[in-house]
Structure 1
Amino acid sequence: MWDDSLIELQAYSWGSYADTLDGTALPPAEGGPYNEVRIAAWANDTHALGIMAYQPLRAGTPAASDPAHAVELGDAYAVAVKADLNGQMMKSASRLKAVLEDVLAGP
């Protein structure tokens, strides 16, 4: 949902969505070490946002994948989570950049 559908609802293509975000400065990433503890903290941070992502959905919406009760996400949901979506994309880019710079710098 967050890796594809919501981006299409925002800009209808990855390229135009990336262009929109490209003009925004990356937030600073947490410093190293980039070990299992740091990666677990990032995963927990993302998980917490995932839980909040269900709050704008209408009452009775299934909280898990259920082919018998598919959830249609529309424009109202995309607008409600747009700031979080943009923030997560920028945060993940910043984190990836920090990890790559750390790995490529070597010992």
Structure 2
Amino acid sequence: MAASAIDIERNPKFQQLVAARKSLGWTLSIVMLAIYFGFILLVAFNKDLGNFLGWPLYSGAVATVGIVIGLFVIVSAFVLTGIYVVKANKRYDELTRQIVEESR
């Protein structure tokens, strides 16, 4: 007979899974928000940095330091997502499998 939702919620492995996912999710969210808002706040409130962001990467270049930093912000979102996916595939899927097997 299959376990009820209450039985699954009481399972220590389920509680461990929820806590681990919540912790990693909040950590990665805070890192992404710090990167994003850090960039925006630096641009908004630091006039000297604003001039620095407009510097071309090389003579005659359209690409500037600001574009490179902006790309870093975008790429960091993909990297942080990748970190979550790798962690989920390694640890969370295994815990989920164990919980499902125990609940049968």
Q: Same fold (TM over 0.5)?
A: no
Which protein has the bigger helix share?
Answer: 2
Find the structure with the greater CA-based Rg. Answer: 2
Q: Which category of TM-score, normalised to the shorter sequence, fits these structures?
A: 0.3 to 0.5
Provide the TM-score with structure 2 as the length reference: 0.44
* TM-score (ref. length: structure 1): 0.43
